[in-house]
Structure 1
Amino acid sequence: MTGTPVVSLTDVASYLPGEPVGVGFFTGDPQAGDELRDSVMFKAPRWRHHVAADETNVDLAERAVRKLIERHGADEIRSADVLLVHTQLPDLPIVGAGTEIARRLGLRPEWLVDVANAGCASFVYMLKLARQILTTTDATRALICNVQTAAGQLFTQSEVRRLAQSAIPGDGCGVGYVTAGGPSPVLDVTTRHIGAYAGDMRLVAEDGRRYWETRTSQLRIGFTEQSVAAVLARGNRLVPEAVDELCRRLALTTRDIDVLITNQPNRTFLRTWREALGLPPERHPDTFDECGNAFGAAIPLTLDHAVRSGKVHAGDLVVLGGFAHAGDFAGAAAVRWQGRG
């Protein structure tokens, strides 16, 4: 990486909507015959947050970015040249949320991309995109927004909420501020798009209709015992592989990692990843029991929580890692954290 201009993950911030929702919201009337009720994939967290009926992706992004504005000033954040956005679920799938987020925040970015792929590891992917743009163009500032609202929308439907899968997701937003120069350099990013697993995670409805068709049944994720077993096997392997590859590229070992920040799918993945990488729990911050699986928002949200709670210190090697969907993407990024810029 010699000669590559320095790009910094200068700051992160997050926002959680509403009051914490307890597991009783889901388990009071479980669906009979749910074959995945006892799966380790769906062991419920203690809490999660849900968007209100009138809250949108843009609302959550605005509230998270407001914290960056408080620290860096409105003029600096609004001068961002690059805006990268990933939303689950998009409020308007046809156009994405990026342009409306720009309008709400008063941004006029030259680069605006709504990222539809990379799911729970999309923060890593967008960090790579931001780094590429900032090192090859005149752009100097990028804003990354990960918004998750599926928990309070898709998974609270009257029938779907009775399924074991519905107690896992939580809503929230995590944002990153990336700058040319800056205090906390992004040392490297490695990503893998794995076409062999594309399409293995699907939305399904009992009546067989597609998501845009009028229906009487409710949409849910089409998990089966077989698909869950496949996702567990892939996820257990993909994240350690991505982190191992990143460390090799940096001539480091995984034991050099001071803080590992991953997506937060469930307790099984979190335990397996840190054990595979030889890291103790205190070096792998965990927001699962407080926030559930916040999908793409989980990595920046967990990093922000770790910074605020004093688990990340100046000079720490912070590695971000995760995988997406049923395993169609995996990635890892290394940052030498020096504190909020």
Structure 2
Amino acid sequence: MSVSLIDVSTYLPGEPVAAEYYAGFAASDELRDNVMFRAPRYRHHVAPDETAIDMVERAAAGLVDRHGHDAVAGADVLITHTQLPDVPFYGGGGGMAHRLGMKPSTVIDLHNGGCAAFVLGLKLARTLLTAGEGRTAVIAVAQNAAGTIFDQPTVRRKAQASVPGDGAAVGLVTVSDQSPILDVECRTYGEFAGDMAIAVDPPRKWWQPGTGEGMIGFTDAKITKVLARGNRQVPEVSCAVCDRIGVAPKDIDMLVTNQPNRVFLRNWREALELPESRHVDTFDACGNLFAAGIPVNLDVAVTEGRLNAGDVVLMAAFAHAGDFAGAAAVRWGGR
């Protein structure tokens, strides 16, 4: 039984926010010259009253236009990931299902997948559909931290604030051989999970009341570790998939990754011996899209005609401070 990723549609909120926006707030920051925080030219910000559910509904519009309302509403499985859940106690799966008109038998909200959540979603969708849990799955991801967490008055003065961008994407997975998922590799590195933390000044737990605004607790030492892990993990999971499908990494038709910064993008394609022309890169237009990065870049490649029917596309990413990584290969069947 073949399971296929047959299409993906995306949404970027609002008008592009230029790097100059952050220059107007910039303050002294010892990490400002770090390669991790070299700002993209533009990114998008979620609107103040825009929810993750709103973003997913808008992202799904392309699928509905191309495949009809029932293709989405009739899906048996819904897999979601939201960078910043609208309500902290539960994920957005139920609300997204309702907004999309779905009555799925299975709804799964993911958090551990992080920037690789779309790859993890593909693995879960393929596993569930192969096991007979239905014939169609929808994977919905929303990155909404840029215009919220990173645009807080004191946080946006930090170097880290200028890198993230917001966006959402929805993928349609079906039991078919139209655009088969050839293989998926997911690896968990739990020993690194504690290296991603929220920093608040004065210190407090994230849920406690207080005056300080939460941000990612980066230090030079942590950044060095994250760079080393990301440089290693993405090529490792990519090569594992390529080995099993019998295609050398340098012969992959298109590489689609998450995009934390330009350094990772360059290092990954060099490690896999791929030219820039075969690695989708929207960093300067969208910034770091976290989990939405892979599906947004895939949509760009398809829309711009860079990915043709029969091409093998390799999707790969690592998450957080390196506690998870995944790669998936799809033989694209065309839109």
The AA in structure 2 aligned to 1:169 is P
The AA in structure 2 aligned to 1:231 is V
Aligned partner of residue 9 in structure 2, secondary structure:
strand
Question: Which residue of structure 2 lines up, in the alignment, with residue 17 of structure 1?
Answer: 13
1:95 to 90, 95, 102: 90
Count, aligned residues: 335
Q: Deviations over 1:60-94 (max 9, x none)?
A: 00001111001100122110000000001111121
Post-superposition shift, 1:28?
A: 1.7
Q: Distance in 1 between matches of 2:280 and 2:87?
A: 33
Post-superposition shift, 1:29?
A: 2.8
Is this contact kept in 2: 1:35–1:225, CA < 8 A?
no
1:27 to 3, 23, 29: 23
Q: What aligned pairs does 1:223-242 form with structure 2 within 5 A after superposition?
A: 223-242=218-237
Q: Distance in 1 between matches of 2:13 and 2:21?
A: 17
Q: What aligned pairs does 1:301-340 form with structure 2 within 5 A after superposition?
A: 301-340=296-335
Question: Which residue of structure 2 lines up, in the alignment, with residue 8 of structure 1?
Answer: 4
The AA in structure 1 aligned to 2:66 is R
Is this contact kept in 2: 1:10–1:182, CA < 8 A?
no
Aligned partner of residue 149 in structure 2, secondary structure:
coil
Q: Deviations over 1:265-296 (max 9, x none)?
A: 10000000000000000000101110000100
1:217 to 212, 217, 221: 212
Is this contact kept in 2: 1:82–1:143, CA < 8 A?
yes
- TM-score, length-scaled by structure 1: 0.97
Question: Which residue of structure 1 lines up, in the alignment, with residue 189 of structure 2?
Answer: 194
Q: Distance in 2 between matches of 1:138 and 1:157?
A: 42
Is this contact kept in 2: 1:47–1:291, CA < 8 A?
yes
Q: Write out the 4+ residue segments of structure 1 that deviate beyond 2 Å after TM superposition.
A: none
1:290 to 285, 289, 292: 285
Q: Identity over the aligned pairs, expressed in percent? A: 55
2:261 to 261, 266, 276: 266
Gaps of 5+ in 2: none
Whether 2:44 is the aligned partner of 1:43: answer: no
Q: Deviations over 1:226-281 (max 9, x none)?
A: 10111011101110011011111112210220000000110000000000000000
Task: Kindly report the root-mean-square deviation, in angstroms, between the aligned alpha carbons of the 2 structures.
Answer: 0.8
Q: What aligned pairs does 1:114-193 form with structure 2 within 5 A after superposition?
A: 114-193=109-188
Question: Which residue of structure 2 lines up, in the alignment, with residue 52 of structure 1?
Answer: 47
Q: Distance in 2 between matches of 1:275 and 1:138?
A: 40
The AA in structure 2 aligned to 1:104 is R
Q: Distance in 1 between matches of 2:314 and 2:170?
A: 17
Question: Which residue of structure 2 lines up, in the alignment, with residue 73 of structure 1?
Answer: 68
The AA in structure 2 aligned to 1:283 is R
The AA in structure 2 aligned to 1:13 is S
